[in-house]
Amino acid sequence: MSDTNVSILWEAVDYIRVEEIKKAFPQVNFVDVSPGVELDQELRGEIFLVTPTRDTAELPKFLDKGVEWVHIMAHGVDGLPFEMLGDCLVTCSRGASSVPIAEWAVAMILSHTKKIPESWISKEPENWFLAPLETLSGATVALLGFGSINQEIAKRLEPFGCRIVAVRNSDSGVSETSVEMLSTFEEAVSDADHVVIGLPLTEETHHIVDDKLMNLMKPGVHLVNIARGDILDQEALFENLESGQISRASLDVVTPEPLPEGHWLYSDPRVKLSAHISWASPDFLDQLHDLFSSNLEKWLSGLPLDGLVDTKKGY
């Protein structure tokens, strides 16, 4: 481990456990660059620790302060000013929330398949013993993107006996599951009963799930989005819900966030909406802390970092 003093520029938030990091890395100095804090003209820092709620428009003014490594305490990196990062190393907290998000997606798929909660009863039903429930056994689930989240989804779906197909956006990622890798989104969605969007948001993926792609899906398909709201064309989604082409949309992400009062996504019965909370789990903050601390030790030791972001691709 290096004995050289290192400064980390950071926004003072509770979940970054500064005292723990200082104890483990006594050569590290934290410099508060929270919005509204008066900055020293001689401000310098080798590491810039970015919180997911930080206004990324403010970031460029810090990049000429000696920053060599930018780490964002989130999985997604859309919004970072990649064109201004130059030779900086960029890492994210990839994997910290993959398991809880995968569990949320599988819960949505199962709830749609078994008509939950609409199949619960609170009074005598019209019919006992009969219900139009479906099964995952033999169903096809298409995973758009095959990063850490969709890989965890595939692992959890495999025991149900469904067919899982995926389109990988890059050569990264390894899966031990029997997933069929396909070359195009069009091919993947054509026979799918459930489609899960798990792509990074880039210029190329903005509204990539549009009216054209939705119309290539199997009529009555269930659409799940756990990635970013702007990957899905919400106007096209409404039209395809109206036509019945899509029977249900389970959305943890939308655009904008938060939605304005009275937005149609709040009240449409065909939409199951949550407030970007699929990542939540009891150990999520522990995961964030451990990932950064592990990378900090590697950076100080001159070792390759985990969660590297390709700044040219934007993920």
Please give the order of strands across the beta sheet that includes 47-50. Answer: 28-32, 6-10, 47-50, 69-72, 89-92
What is the chain's pLDDT, residue by residue, as a tens digit (315 residues)? 455 689 999 988 888 889 999 999 999 999 999 988 888 888 999 999 998 878 777 788 888 899 999 999 999 999 888 888 888 999 999 999 999 999 999 999 999 999 999 999 999 999 999 999 999 999 999 999 999 999 999 999 999 999 999 998 765 545 556 899 999 999 999 999 999 999 999 999 999 999 999 999 999 999 999 999 999 999 999 999 999 999 999 999 999 999 999 999 999 999 999 999 999 999 999 999 999 999 999 999 999 999 999 999 999
Catalytic site residue from 222, 228, 248, 289: 228
Active site residue 83: no
Catalytic site residue from 206, 207, 276, 297: 276
User: Given this model, what pLDDT does residue 1 score?
Assistant: 45
Catalytic site residue from 257, 261, 263, 270: 257
Bridge partners of 249? 223, 271
Burial track 246-273 (b if 16+ CB lie within 10 A, e otherwise) = bebbbbbbbeeeebeeeeebeebeebbb
User: Given this model, what pLDDT does residue 39 score?
Assistant: 86
Query: Which CATH number is 98-273 given?
Result: 3.40.50.720
Please state which of the four CATH numbers 3.90.1170.50, 3.40.50.720, 3.40.50.300, 3.10.20.90 is assigned to the domain occupying 6-95+283-300: 3.40.50.720
User: Given this model, what pLDDT does residue 289 score?
Assistant: 93
Query: Would the pTM count as exceeding 0.85?
Result: yes
Active site residue 228: yes
End-to-end Cα, the chain, rounded Å: 29
User: Given this model, what pLDDT does residue 171 score?
Assistant: 58
Q: Domain locations in the chain?
A: 6-95+283-300, 98-273
Active site residue 134: no
pLDDT tens string 22-38: 999 999 999 999 988 88
- Position 78: which residue type? D
Contact 87, 97 (CB under 8 A): no
User: Given this model, what pLDDT does residue 188 score?
Assistant: 98
